[in-house]
Amino acid sequence: MRRPLIAGNWKMNLNRAQSVALAREIAAGLNGSLSADVAVFPPAVYLDAVIAADTGLAVGAQDVNENADGAFTGEISCQMLCDLNVTTVILGHSERRNLLGETSEQVQRKTLAALRAGLTPIVCVGELLEQRQAGQTDQVVLEQCRTSLAGLSAEQMLQTVVAYEPVWAIGTGQVATPAQAEEVHASIRQWLSKSFSPATAAQVRILYGGSVKADNAAELLSQANIDGALVGGASLKAESFLGIIRATETQKVA
Ligand code: 13P
């Protein structure tokens, strides 16, 4: 059964005190709510502070390096994240793919490294506006899935979350319609079914990301193949993030 997951990607925002305060405010507002799994992804330098605040929220990193150790200036390894009690990591976010040139091959190496370290990878895929306009959405997204998730066993796939984030919907206020999002989520699940097994595909959570807000979350989450949200801007305020989490209360637990 797929339990909804609402993930807040704070990107390169907030300072230390604000990060801790936001995590505390979210946890307080949840008040033990069990309708969804909730995770927050602070900037790496504040992971320790947010984890030390002991809010009960899952705390994740926004990226990790695929190597175990060595001469990789500025990078952070999976073991370093585990050392901090980080449990999950976002990989292949479109901002890393498009602004920093991260490839699906790199994302695949990071995914395997994260899985080996016992971290839950959230692997992001999504098309650019011009790719959607050219009718290439499925092709682009499924190719990203094929390469980024290559070589995973079915068991590893079950430990992995996929996030569909159309690039044109990120930070633009231009959310995909529930039907547009559902269509891509359904293709990803079909691909998972063919590549792993129907039983595996039925259990993998596929999140939608891109301008999710409290007032559009319920409709997106009501779609059969949308199992949660990866939220940017609206995760930076407790009230709007809690509004999105509350939208899961009325949803199916498929
Ligand atoms: P916004 O919610 O700000 O559109 O960002 C989405 C995102 O990139 C989450 O990873």
Q: What is the mean pLDDT of residues 22-32?
A: 93
How many domains, the chain? Answer: 1
Which residues lie with the beta carbon below 6 Å from any ligand 1 atom?
9, 93, 165, 170-171, 209-212, 230-234
* Cα 207 to ligand 1 centre (Å): 12
**Domain around 166:** 5-250
**130 labelled catalytic:** no
The enclosing domain of 129 has a CATH number of 3.20.20.70
Cα dist. 205→109, 224, 227 in Å? Answer: 21, 11, 6
pTM of this structure: 0.97
Structure tokens at 54: 């002991």
pLDDT at 34 over 80: no
The pLDDT of residue 31 is 78
Catalytic residue among 66, 102, 127, 165: 165
Question: Can you tell me which atom of ligand 1 is nearest the CA of 230?
Answer: 9
**25 counts as catalytic:** no
pLDDT at 251 exceeding the cut of 90: no
Kindly report, residue by residue over 166-203, the tens digit of the pLDDT.
999 999 999 999 999 999 999 999 999 999 999 999 99
Q: Assess whether pLDDT exceeds 90 at residue 107.
A: yes
Return the H-helix or E-strand segment holding 90: strand 88-91
Per-residue pLDDT tens digits for 231-244: 999 999 999 999 99
| Per-residue pLDDT band at 120 (split at 50, 70, 90) | very high
Annotated active-site residue in 66, 93, 127, 185: 93
